[in-house]
């Protein structure tokens, strides 16, 4: 007697799931609108009512899209490099000068590298100002940007 009860429940459940009809989607309303003059349903894309002929959409949006985009491109490139050119003479590699000073500073190699022939000869004959000038130049070169300009 009790055997049939589960079957009945299963049938009712299957019926319930089958009866759950998805909600109707009013798709016809998505593509239509109502004329604000005559009240008739017209296509949403219509600019002029198909029933009364009155204009229902502003033409501004379409007209604005068709206008050419005028960019006032007065970008005067005044980035002249005069200032940088005035500062520098010859660009010198910081590390080339540093290692020349470190190993050959006592003969003024870094001074010759910088084109300073006079002080280079002075370093050459005085042993890099008695090694004091070399020592000072090492830290001076370290504090310079790379490249630096002589
Ligand atoms: Zn109309």
Outline where DSSP puts E strands in 66-141. 91-92
33 Cα to the center of ligand 1, angstroms: 10
Could you tell me if residue 114 is inside a domain? yes
How high is the pLDDT of residue 83?
45
Could you tell me if residue 2 is inside a domain? no
How high is the pLDDT of residue 82?
46
**Domain boundary pick from 42, 60, 78:** 60
**Domain boundary pick from 18, 42, 60:** 60
Q: Which tokens belong to 90?
A: 């010859």
25 Cα to the center of ligand 1, angstroms: 26
Could you tell me if residue 65 is inside a domain? no
Could you tell me if residue 100 is inside a domain? yes
**Which residue segment(s) compose the domain that 53 sits in?**
29-60
Determine the average pLDDT of the residues in 25-38: 74
Number of independent structural domains in the chain: 2
Contact between 141 and 110 under an 8 Å Cβ cutoff? The reply is yes
**Domain boundary pick from 15, 44, 60:** 60
The DSSP code for 44 is T
Could you tell me if residue 17 is inside a domain? no
Is 99 in the same domain as 144? Answer: yes
Could you tell me if residue 48 is inside a domain? yes
41 Cα to the center of ligand 1, angstroms: 8
30 Cα to the center of ligand 1, angstroms: 18
Q: Which tokens belong to 122?
A: 């002075």
How high is the pLDDT of residue 112?
96
Average pLDDT, the chain: 77
How high is the pLDDT of residue 57?
83
Could you tell me if residue 13 is inside a domain? no
Is 94 in the same domain as 51? Answer: no
Which position has the token pair 């630096």? 148
- If pLDDT is split at 50, 70 and 90, which confidence band does 16 have? low
Summarize pLDDT for 77-132 with one digit per residue, the tens: 555 454 444 456 889 999 999 999 999 999 999 999 999 999 999 999 999 999 99
42 Cα to the center of ligand 1, angstroms: 8
Alpha-carbon radius of gyration of the chain: 44
47 Cα to the center of ligand 1, angstroms: 10
Query: Which neighbouring-strand residues pair with 76?
Result: none
Q: Is 35 helix (H, G, I), strand (E, B) or coil?
A: coil
65 Cα to the center of ligand 1, angstroms: 26
Could you tell me if residue 35 is inside a domain? yes
pTM of the model as a whole:
0.42
Summarize pLDDT for 58-80 with one digit per residue, the tens: 766 544 455 556 566 655 555 54
146 Cα to the center of ligand 1, angstroms: 76
24 Cα to the center of ligand 1, angstroms: 28
């Amino acid at each position: 007697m009790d055997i049939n009860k589960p079957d009945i429940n299963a049938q009712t459940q299957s019926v319930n799931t089958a009866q759950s009809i998805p909600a109707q989607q009013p798709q016809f309303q998505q593509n239509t609108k109502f004329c604000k003059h005559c009240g008739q349903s017209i296509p949403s894309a219509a600019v002029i009512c198909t029933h009364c002929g009155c204009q229902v959409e502003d033409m501004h949006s379409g007209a604005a899209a068709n206008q050419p985009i005028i960019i006032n491109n007065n970008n005067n490139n005044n980035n002249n490099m005069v200032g940088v050119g005035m500062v520098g003479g010859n660009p010198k590699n910081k590390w080339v000068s540093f290692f020349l000073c470190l190993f050959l500073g006592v003969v003024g190699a870094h001074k010759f590298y910088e084109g300073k022939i006079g002080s280079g000869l002075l370093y050459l004959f005085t042993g890099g100002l008695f090694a004091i000038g070399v020592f000072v130049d090492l830290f001076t070169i370290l504090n310079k940007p790379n490249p630096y300009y002589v």
